[in-house]
Amino acid sequence: MTSLVSEPFLWRWIAVATAVLTVIVIGESWIGHYRSGFPLRAQYAPLVGGMALATACVALALVPRVEWVRLAVRWAGWVAVFTGVIGAGYHHYYGIVEKAGGYRWLLHHLMYGAPQLAPLALSAAGALAVLASEGVASAAVSPSASVPRLALAVVAIALAGAVAQTGILHYRGAFNTPFMYAPLALPPLAALGTGWLALAPAVGLTGVVRVLLWATFLLGFVGLGMHLRGLDRQMGGLHVFLFNLLQGPPPLAPAVYATLAGVGLLLLRAW
């Protein structure tokens, strides 16, 4: 018997989680783009698209039965997917190709240039939103329903991407605190497990993956605290807040793990 269920109730909570994820992504996007000085108008796109997506997702959670709300979420979701992909292209060009040294200095630019995978977090949120708009509509319970499995796949891929992005940035920070290894140790296992379940649902594995996802969920909150502590360790600490916000560890980023793990847990009906 499978524990994968497509229930409208859970999908409303997934919509909430997706909205939270979107807010985190556009928050970090704003900080990064502000740091760059918004030299390109295109940098406003993730803010606009993200706000639209987050609003639509909240609406979906509140009134899932309204047809046009579902339609709006689907549209906003796809727009977010494409915005993220195009954003990744911009990040690649302006963050690596155009920079001094180009590909020869790849590692330097991966560490310091526009983060290569970050825009795809918006795509992940968009994909989850599209799937949520499907999920709230279907009333049937199906063991091998494709929508929840697709969503699990998105969670797995997004977790893997988060790990890769974290890896390069924690490497840049020289793992100055041993706990910086944690997001590279635990979430990959959660991503692997979640991905496996997406491909081949298996009862025995579900329990293990639930534990991994819970641990990842909590890790996200610990990470928030660690990043706040990291901001305080900069010169001037939280007194020179805006400046250190631009210099120090991104304050919202660890919450991505919590929201993705939360979506995963919802999908595995762990609540």
Partner 1 sequence: MAGGSARDKDAIPSTRYPGYDVLAKWRGPDWDAQTRMVVRRRVEDVPRIRFLTEEEARLLEAVSARIVPQPDRVAQARVPIVAWIDEKLHHDWRDGYRYEELPPLRETWRLGLSGINESAQLLHARQFVSLESLTQDEVLARLQRGDAPGETWTRLSATRFFRDVLCLTVVKTYYAHPSAWSEIGYSGPSSPRGHVRNWAGGVDPWDAPEERE
Partner 2 sequence: MTERPLSAPGIHGERTPMRDLSGEEVDFCIVGAGAAGGVLGAKLAEKGFAVVLLDAGPHWDPTRDFVSDEVGSRQLFWTDERISGGRDPVELGSNNSGRGVGGSTVHYSMIAMRAHSEDFRRRTLEGDIPGAELRDWPITFDDLEPYYEEVERDLRIAGPTFYPWGHRRHRYPQREHELNASARVLVYGCTALGIPAAPAPVATLSAPHDDRPPCVYRGFCNYGCTTNAKSSVLVTYIPRAIAAGAEVRPGCMAAQITHDGRGQASGVLYFRGGDPSTLHRQRARNVVVCGYAIETPRLLLNSSSSMFSDGLANSSGLVGKCFMVHSGHQVFGRFDERINQYKAPPGLALTEHFNRTMPDANFVCGYAIEVVGPHPVDFASRVTTARGLWGTDLRRLMMDYNYWSGVGMVGEVMPQRRNEVRLHPVERDQYGLPVPHILFTYHENDRRLIAHAIDRMEEIMDSAGGVDIWSADRTAHLLGTCRMGLTRDDSVVDADCRTHDVPNLFICDGSVFPTSTGVNPSLTIEAIAARTADRIGRSSG
CB 3 within 8 A of CB 268: yes
Centre a 10 Å sphere on the Cβ of residue 226 and count the other Cβ atoms it contains: 18
Q: Which of 37, 104, 140, 204 binds partner 1 (CB under 8 A)?
A: 37
Binding mask 234-253 for partner 2 (x = CB under 8 A): xxx------x---x------
Q: Is 176 in the site for partner 2 (CB under 8 A)?
A: yes
Residue nearer to partner 2 on the CB measure, 202 or 235:
235
- Could you say which of partner 1, partner 2, none residue 146 binds, taking C-beta under 5 to 8 angstroms by partner kind? none
CB 150 within 8 A of CB 198: yes
In angstroms, what is the minimal distance from the CB of 69 to partner 2? 44
Interactions with partner 1, residue window 182-241 (CB under 8 A): 235-236, 239-240
Rg (CA), the chain: 19
Say how far apart CA 230 and CA 248 lie, in whole Å.
7
The token pair at 53 is 């997506």
CA angle (214 as vertex; 170, 268 as ends), nearest 5: 125
- 């709230």: which residue's tokens? 136
Q: Is 243 in the site for partner 1 (CB under 8 A)?
A: yes
Residue nearer to partner 1 on the CB measure, 199 or 240:
240
DSSP per residue, 32-63: HHHHHT--SGGGGHHHHHHHHHHHHHHHHHH-
- Could you say which of partner 1, partner 2, none residue 101 binds, taking C-beta under 5 to 8 angstroms by partner kind? partner 2
Q: Which of 40, 62, 66, 101 binds partner 2 (CB under 8 A)?
A: 101
- Contacting positions for partner 2 (CB under 8 A): 99-102, 104-105, 107-108, 111-112, 171-174, 176-177, 230, 233-236, 243, 247
